[in-house]
Structure 1
Amino acid sequence: MKAFAFAAGVVLATGAVAETPQLTVYTYDSFVPDWGPGPQVEAAFEETCGCDLNLVAVGDGASLLARLRLEGERSDADVVLGLDTNLIQSARETGLFAPHDVDAEFDLPVAWDDPVFVPFDWGYFAFVKDAGLEAPGNFRALGDSDLKIVIQDPRSSTPGLGLLMWVKAAYGDEAPEIWEGLADNIVTVTKGWSEAYGLFLDGEADMVLSYTTSPAYHLIAEEDDSKAAVPFDEGHYMQVEVAAKLAGSDQPELADAFLRFMVTDAFQSIIPTTNWMYPAVMPEGGLPEGFETLIAPERALLLPSEEVPALREEALDEWQRALSQ
């Protein structure tokens, strides 16, 4: 009888494990590692959901959309986290996403009422340098300088695409001239942000395309004040990162629960010192000490998301032609 009872217990326990629902979230590479938000987000959400949160790293931000287009309605993803304002319109046009039921007061520099995409953080693109380096304060002067920079590929990386839109928003029809000037400053173009920032830290370039918030990581996590973002006269292009539910999710209620969790203090308080961005909803404790030292762009640039797809093709062509000469 004891053996039978034990065996029955094993069967019941195994059944309970098998019945634990799993929520699959596609996100970008830097969200998932131990030093990123992923582990803390996973632990905090699993405390509330009675589920298994499966975070799947899929390259950089722009790679997320490419992966979803490839998989289509067959995708295993329930939620995608890591698209941004430059990709929203293209993502919407796939028809793969469903409306959300999130109700939140967002702390963003722009009004937000999108019925499908929910913001989880935001920031400004910037070039990061060693604090002691004298660096030009605009794209024209940078192109005239001898400084070496590392940037990301706009076809796979949201910062890379953000740089294209930054130049386009600031210079319009003069963008090809700006890229011609920058071409010989570019040491290499990486697939994603992590590779580019690593090359900069290894001394392979004078500056790297990143964010105005990047120096906060060095200051807070490493007690190192040797990095700084360069303020640009043209202003800085803004990025709002978003998440959305897949219409084909087989866990729609869990997906909705995750999106609602994403705008709570439990999630948002993790963002500043793991993703090193500004939270979309200000945590109760505010921003960590050190964020007050960051540059504050005098001019914020952001193209309407519905205009980006057409401008992207034009800007990408300008970028490719300049770099191929």
Structure 2
Amino acid sequence: MKQNKPEYLVAAMAFTVFVALCLNGGETNNTPPNLTAKPTLTVYTYDSFNAEWGPGPKVFPIFESQCNCKVNVITAGDTGQVLNRLILEKDNPKADVVVGIDNSFLSKALSAGILVPYSSRNIEKVPQRLRFDSTGSLTPYDYGYVTFVYDSSKISPPNSLLDLLDPKYSKKFILEDPRTSSPGLIFFMQTVQALGEDKAWVYWRNLSKQALAIAPSWDEAQTLFSSGEAPMYLSYATSPSYYVEYENKTNFLAVDFSEGLLEQVEGSGIVKGTRNVELAQSFIDFTLTPEFQNELPQTQWMFPVLPDAKIPESFSYAVKPNKTLTLNTNLTSEDTQRWLAQWEDAVKA
């Protein structure tokens, strides 16, 4: 039998509904909580990796479709600037993964304690010589050689590092700051290894005066070169391949220094403190798959670490150094900081 509610109870219920409507702006919300929201992976990287022409816009959507997740990409200048941001956020990390820390910044990253080791299930596909981090905190994904790219229609190339001090190259080339730029740091270390510490500081005192500018990043150096400010800039041995492929220019060539070229290897790693460990591990594995590796040559303009990755014909214009220099793996973060302090003194002199 249906019973009628007492009048005082009906009044109380009506008042409760009225208050609830007032608190909700007069609207009711019957939408259930979203229990199926996609997880988000936050990735830190340098500007050019996620530029319109970089690999980011191609590889990140592929990973999103595979993991049924969202990738939140945050760029912060060049490699050194990305690493500095990770160090500043160490006690309250915002990133899950970092992409683009190379062998020149390895000691700084390890000493800062911002990464956690992970051995990718695909790591055995990578040649041993390219596995630059014995701790497993950084997984290699590409490599290349840092050198100068020059416009052969405007200038003849130097044959050695010392040739750059020739008056004919005065204000004809653009360097990059080794404190913030990864190719800048690689080239700086190349000069120290090739010339020795004592001679290197004298060399840089003179070299800095010869240069048109010392750009804070590769992007800014490349912009100055492209705008015609100087006919030579610090870049990569593979850069001529880009100009052939996309600008149909064969006059932009790379220098093969007689002292040799230092090999740069870039890696990705999991940020210590991430709450998305499994998702981060899946991304590291993804960087060593054909879907990721095959995109690198014509977006990153570096050699992929997987030997069977596809290489375009334009890479025939890339310089293969007659002598390859390997970064000293015993170099500590303290050594690097000491060198950079001496570099600062040299260029200010």
TM-score in terms of structure 2 length:
0.85
Aligned position for 1:101: 119
Of 11, 17, 27, the match for 2:45: 27
Aligned pairs for 1:40-119 (under 5 A) are: 40-103=58-121, 104=123, 105-107=125-127, 109-110=129-130, 112=132, 113-119=134-140
Aligned position for 2:290: 265
Counterpart code for 1:75: P
Counterpart code for 1:276: W
Distance 1:306 1:23 in 2: 33
Distance 1:265 1:145 in 2: 47
* Paired-residue identity, %: 35
Aligned position for 1:232: 257
Distance 1:318 1:259 in 2: 36
Contact 2:111 2:333 in 1 (8 A): no
Aligned pairs for 1:151-162 (under 5 A) are: 151-162=175-186
Contact 2:208 2:214 in 1 (8 A): no
SS of the equivalent of 1:82 reads: strand
Aligned position for 1:142: 164
Gaps of 5+ in 2: 1-27
Aligned position for 1:207: 232
Distance 1:146 1:319 in 2: 24
Distance 1:141 1:107 in 2: 34
Distance 2:242 2:64 in 1: 27
Contact 1:154 1:160 in 2 (8 A): yes
Using a 3 Å threshold, how does the CA distance of structure 1 residues 183 and 94 change in structure 2: closer, same or farther? closer
Aligned position for 1:121: 142
Aligned position for 1:310: 334
SS of the equivalent of 2:168 reads: coil
Distance 2:149 2:128 in 1: 23
Deviates more, 1:194-203 or 1:133-142: 133-142
Shift of 1:138: 1.0
Distance 2:294 2:204 in 1: 38
SS of the equivalent of 1:90 reads: helix
Verify: 1:11 aligned to 2:31, yes or no. yes
Distance 1:306 1:109 in 2: 15
Contact 1:124 1:236 in 2 (8 A): yes
Distance 2:88 2:327 in 1: 27
Contact 2:131 2:139 in 1 (8 A): no
Distance 2:148 2:163 in 1: 13
Contact 2:130 2:140 in 1 (8 A): no
Contact 1:269 1:283 in 2 (8 A): no
- Residues 12-39 of structure 1, C-alpha deviations (whole Å, 9 max, x = no match): 6x7156x210000100000112111111
Shift of 1:303: 2.4
Contact 1:139 1:178 in 2 (8 A): no
Of 200, 215, 223, the match for 1:175: 200
Gaps of 5+ in 1: 1-7
SS of the equivalent of 2:145 reads: strand
Verify: 1:290 aligned to 2:314, yes or no. yes
Aligned position for 1:5: none
Distance 1:249 1:26 in 2: 13
Q: Note the aligned Cα RMSD (angstroms).
A: 2.1
How many residue pairs match? The answer is 316
TM-score in terms of structure 1 length:
0.91
Using a 3 Å threshold, how does the CA distance of structure 1 residues 20 and 33 change in structure 2: closer, same or farther? same
Structure number with larger C-alpha Rg? 2
Contact 2:141 2:287 in 1 (8 A): yes
